């Protein structure tokens, strides 16, 4: 399973990339706004840090405007994947951009049938938002399982990119369900790395070594 990091914080991206953990990055207008920098400046820096897909989201909501904005984003760097919302114009824009060999991440997916339609439209990635479903008392991981089954039934090549990750358990179950990618906030990435028993064991090993000196 591939790991993307869900942030526009270049310091965090640099830190995890140095560990060899990152296969890509997802951003959105909210994450980029937090940096206080221009979208193009952030995208260029992120693409230089990670050798993999970097999702940059359009803010337009009409098909032609999405296509124009998406093609401009794709020109910034070869690693850019254009992110569009799962709405009718978004699917149409996805179809048009993929026909021009632009990678597209269709985002804000909340049902298996939406995911099927995105794959039909040629999406490179589909991003189900499991945490937001959990917030409503639904089972976001059930959505992941349903999409995986449907895609496998028909040999669809769209990659299942699990988003809105809220816990390490989300990552574990997404992996067990066969997700192609998870995109994880820096906080959760740190939680995946650390374990109290690892810290305790290391402390004991070091103490034992020191006692022998």
Q: Please identify which of the residues 83, 103, 176, 203 carries the catalytic annotation.
A: 83
Q: How many Cα atoms are found within 13 Å in the side-chain-facing hemisphere of 34?
A: 9
Distance CA 52, CA 16 (A): 14
Query: Is 83 one of the annotated active-site residues of the chain?
Result: yes
Please state, as a whole number, how many other Cβ atoms lie within 10 Å of the Cβ of residue 30: 9
Among the listed residues 183, 175, 163, 164, the one whose alpha carbon sits nearest the alpha carbon of residue 50: 183
Q: Kindly report the CA angle at 167 between 164 and 172, in degrees rounded to 5?
A: 100
At 128, is the secondary structure helix, strand, or coil? strand
| Residues marked as catalytic | 83
């Amino acid at each position: 399973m591939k790991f993307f990091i869900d942030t526009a914080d270049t310091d965090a991206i640099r830190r995890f990339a140095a560990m060899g953990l990152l296969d890509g990055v997802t951003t959105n207008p909210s994450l980029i706004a937090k940096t206080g920098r221009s979208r193009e400046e952030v995208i260029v820096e992120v693409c230089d840090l990670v050798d993999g897909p970097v999702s940059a989201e359009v803010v337009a909501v009409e098909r032609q405007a999405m296509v124009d904005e998406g093609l401009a984003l794709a020109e910034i760097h070869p690693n850019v994947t254009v992110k569009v919302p799962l709405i009718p114009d978004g699917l149409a824009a996805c179809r048009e951009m993929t026909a021009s060999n632009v990678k597209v991440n269709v985002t804000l997916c909340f049902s298996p049938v939406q995911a099927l339609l995105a794959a039909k439209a040629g999406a490179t990635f589909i991003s189900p938002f499991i945490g937001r479903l959990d917030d409503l008392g639904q089972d976001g991981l059930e959505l992941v399982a349903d999409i995986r089954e449907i895609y496998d039934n028909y040999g669809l090549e769209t990659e299942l990119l699990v988003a809105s990750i809220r816990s390490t358990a989300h990552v574990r179950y997404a992996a067990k369900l066969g997700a192609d990618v998870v995109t994880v906030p820096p906080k959760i990435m740190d939680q995946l790395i650390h374990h109290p028993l690892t810290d305790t064991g290391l402390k004991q090993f070091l103490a034992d070594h020191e006692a022998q000196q």
